[in-house]
Amino acid sequence: MIQFEKFTLANGLRVIVHQDLSTPMAVMNIMYDVGARDEDPNRTGFAHLFEHLMFGGSVNIPSYDEPLQMAGGENNAYTTNDLTNYYIQLPAENLETAFWLESDRMLSLAFGEKSLETQRKVVCEEFKEHYLTKPYGDVWHKMRELAYTKHPYRWMTIGKELSHIENAQLEDVKAFFFKHYRPVNAVLVVAGNVTVEKVKALTEKWFGDIPSGERYNRNLPQEPVQTEARRLEIKANVPLDAFYKCWHMPGRLDRRYYVIDLLTDILSGGGSSRLYQSLVKEKKLFSNIECHHFGSTDAGLVVVEGKLVKGVKIEEAEKAVEAELDKMKNELVSEAELQKVKNKTESMIAFEDMSVMNRANSLAYYEILGDAAWMNYELPKYATVTTEDILQESRTIFRAENSNTIHYLSNN
Amino acid sequence: MPDRKQAPAIVDAVNFKLNLKPYQHFVLDNGVEVYAVDAGAEEVMLTEWVFFAGNSQEEQNLVAATTNFLLRNGTTKRTAFQINEHFEYYGAYLNRSCYNETATITLHCLTKHIDELLPVVKELITESTMPSEELAIYQQNMKQRLKVSLKKSDFVAGRLIDAYLYGEKHPYGKYSSAEEFDALQRDQLLSFYNQYYLQGKLIMFVAGKLPVNIDKKLNRFFGDLPNKPVEVKHPALYPATEKKVRITNDTAGVQGSIRIARPFPNRHHPDFLKVQVLNALFGGFFGSRLMSNIREDKGYTYGIHSYLQNHIQHSAWMVSTEAGKDVCEAAIAEVYKEMKELREELVEEDELLLVRNYMMGSILGDLDGPFQIIARWKNIILNDLTEQYFYDSINTIKTISAEELRSLAQKYLQPEDFYELVVV
């Protein structure tokens, strides 16, 4: 059970304090309720580019990193399709430095041309490093475009194409900032060796006078129900044939999410999981195979992906995957098998919660989803899942007309 | 309204007193030494078995790594599937890793399950069978994985630079090939297993929320292993003579993997700790000279780092980055420019204080939690150092002078000592 206290400033900033006196450190985590899904389809990659610009100096503080390093702190940030998160860890004595830095960049960035110019290049190199130079590096661009026709999950966080980043202008950056990076769209978590009184005082002092901003009302085009199977074949200069298949699943707040999370663990997620045992070890059709899901806030995808053993026909490999999924649709999994994945979930949560940083991050995430307290109710939700639920959910998800398949073939 | 131009007062991290929480030490009946750190709030624990079964001990490439990998793939009592099912049923993570001198089995589990898991780990150490079929699957899948990795310039560059530094025959420099995977024989694995695990020398580390009688539990299962001494080998180095290499791995590649590296002595050398500070200043963190110049000013790369390699016998000082194909040479020129600056100019007091504070804060943050504390101890113990090493490193961070840093740069940051590799 993670203890915390929550309050809201007059400008709408939600603040959560989680005390842990066993550490000499403090953590500040600020999550902004904006991700790649909130981008204009003609300016994709913006939320992520913006994350880079957040380190280019703010209105009163020319350098973000230096004062933080001087205070013995470290920081980083990440952007997903759903949200953008910034976090700092520093010695608890120097907590106020984190307040000073984060509040100033929430107040306003410096918006320097030089910073934009450099970070455009940096992000382009990141794009190349992760998506262009790696074999199979473009597959998730293609899969998202195949599986989503309307919803903005059809592009990746890094952006649809390099040109969107290269053409980013300072006006776009400013508009994005004042729309999304406002107190009313953010959650601040302070954790570690801190007291609620001190955090309240510091929050009022540093964040209290930042204009509230307008609440961003998300109104995204929803993905229509898919009614027939979609397939794509790619030939590329890769050494092995690879198989990718995705099915639509409900969003994070649906109860079915928990069923699917366990279901994917039964299929893959360990040496005793079904797909690995059957297709890698027994039938030797794949050299590796995985099943996971996006974990996204809006309706996401369940994924099966694997590389084929050289010489195996991709049709044969796909049939064998389908045969395993048919078993899930036709027979109840055993109670022991379900218990196994529930135990794994329990232990995973315990290990995650070891670090103050992770706890702070989770509190912010659940608050953005709806309520920080939900963090403590995850295990009971998993506990209610039955073998019958797994059977029903397999039948609902693993239908051909709900599927998107990519055969990624080696042309050499 | 707060004065936003004015930074809040800070306590300089150099003023912190850092302590490495001591371990408890006990010895099993057979002389196996166990180091334990009992700490943490969550009901979880880590148990690690360290054998002197690294790739320095093998006669033929890949034997050590393959033996280590197959430990989990079959015993006289259980199939690979049954072993995995057992650990996974209890939500435990059983990993194994092979390094140069040592090879490990690592168990992460909820403390309440430890009694169900220790006997099966014992079985892996005493009754593994290395089944032929498991070996065949491993060979096939590893060859396929290698094929994919060889398409990646960073992977190719990483292998080659180590081979240049240490020699292709040296444990730190050798790398895998499809032919060597094919050459693996089950008999070799069994014989390596017998000598270096079943009979081999073992050291153990445990950390987390430990059960009260952890010493008795470990002794019950691991106190009767032979634990024979193992002589760690010290193979000779065969560094390459050619220092500057350019390789095209993928004609359509848009980025080059740059590695610039020089040999460096190990942790027992008096300069090692001092150079850690110089390295931080040079390219060891986000605020370093290399990162500020080559990423934040020029935008040539998503990231550039320098570090001392984590080896026991010999180390190397490495600069590593992926940069746009057309700016690789410009990026390399900037790296040498930064070396020159460090050789010729004294670092300003402000910048040095920043590096000191950053390093202290980073160690403070890193000592957070039992797993991190035991990792520090493990590093000290396996490198044959003492607790003093930790306090020396803190002291070095606090007191090293700008003059010392400059003379270290003059000694070690000489371009002609560096290998320079670009793989596109």
| ipTM (interface pTM) | 0.90
Which of A102, A272, A333 has the highest number of chain B CBs within 10 A, making it the mutation to test binding with B? A272
Interface of A with B in 254-293 (CB under 8 A): 270-273, 277, 280-281, 284, 287-288
Look up residue A201 and give its amino acid: A
Q: Is the pLDDT of residue A133 over 80?
A: no
Arithmetic mean of pLDDT over chain B: 95
Arithmetic mean of pLDDT over chain A: 95
Please tell me the predicted confidence (pLDDT) of residue A132: 80
Please tell me the predicted confidence (pLDDT) of residue A152: 97
Give A-chain residues touching B284 at CB under 8 angstroms: none
A346/B91 touch (CB, cutoff 8 Å), yes or no: yes
In this complex, is the C-beta atom of A65 within 8 Å of any C-beta atom belonging to chain B? yes
Q: How far apart are CA B294 and CA B323, in angstroms?
A: 9
Please tell me the predicted confidence (pLDDT) of residue B254: 86
Q: Is the pLDDT of residue A118 over 90?
A: no
- Comparing A247 with A116, which gets the higher pLDDT? A247
**Of the partner residues A89, A343, A348, the one whose CB lies closest to the CB of residue B365:** A89
Backbone angles phi and psi of A12, in degrees to 5: 95, -5
CA distance B134 to chain A (A): 8
Longest dimension (CA), chain B: 76
B4/A346 touch (CB, cutoff 8 Å), yes or no: no
What is the share, in percent, of chain A residues with pLDDT greater than 70? 100
CA distance B396 to chain A (A): 16
Q: Is the pLDDT of residue A412 over 80?
A: no
Please tell me the predicted confidence (pLDDT) of residue B297: 87
DSSP tag of A222? P
Please tell me the predicted confidence (pLDDT) of residue A131: 83
Query: Which of the residues in chain B have pLDDT under 70?
Result: none
Q: What is the pLDDT of residues A287-297, one digit of tens each?
A: 999 999 999 99
CA distance B330 to chain A (A): 15
What kind and span of H or E run contains B186? helix B186-193
Q: What is the pLDDT of residues B368-410, one digit of tens each?
A: 889 999 999 999 999 999 999 999 999 999 999 999 999 999 9
Q: How far apart are CA B286 and CA B73, in angstroms?
A: 42
Interface of B with A in 303-332 (CB under 8 A): 322-324
SS (H, E, C) chain B: CCCCCCCCCCCCHHHCCCCCCCCEEEECCCCCEEEEEECCCCCEEEEEEEECCCCCCCCCCCHHHHHHHHCCCEECCCEHHHHHHHHHHCCCEEEEEECCCCEEEEEEEEHHHHHHHHHHHHHHHHHECCCHHHHHHHHHHHHHHHHHHCCCHHHHHHHHHHHHHHCCCCCCCCCCCHHHHHCCCHHHHHHHHHHHHHCCCEEEEEEECCCCCHHHHHHHHHCCCCCCCCCCCCCCCCCCCCCEEEECCCCCCCEEEEEEEEEECCCCCCCHHHHHHHHHHHHHCCCCHHHHHHHHHCCCEEEEEEEECCCCCCEEEEEEEEEEHHHHHHHHHHHHHHHHHHHHCCCCHHHHHHHHHHHHHHHHHHCCCHHHHHHHHHHHHHCCCCHHHHHHHHHHHHHCCHHHHHHHHHHHCCHHHCEEEEEC
| A57 three-state secondary structure | coil
Which of A18, A49, A75, A125 has the highest number of chain B CBs within 10 A, making it the mutation to test binding with B? A125
Please tell me the predicted confidence (pLDDT) of residue B41: 81
Considering the entire predicted model, what is its pTM? Answer: 0.92
Contact in structure between A20 and A356 (CB atoms under 8 Å): yes
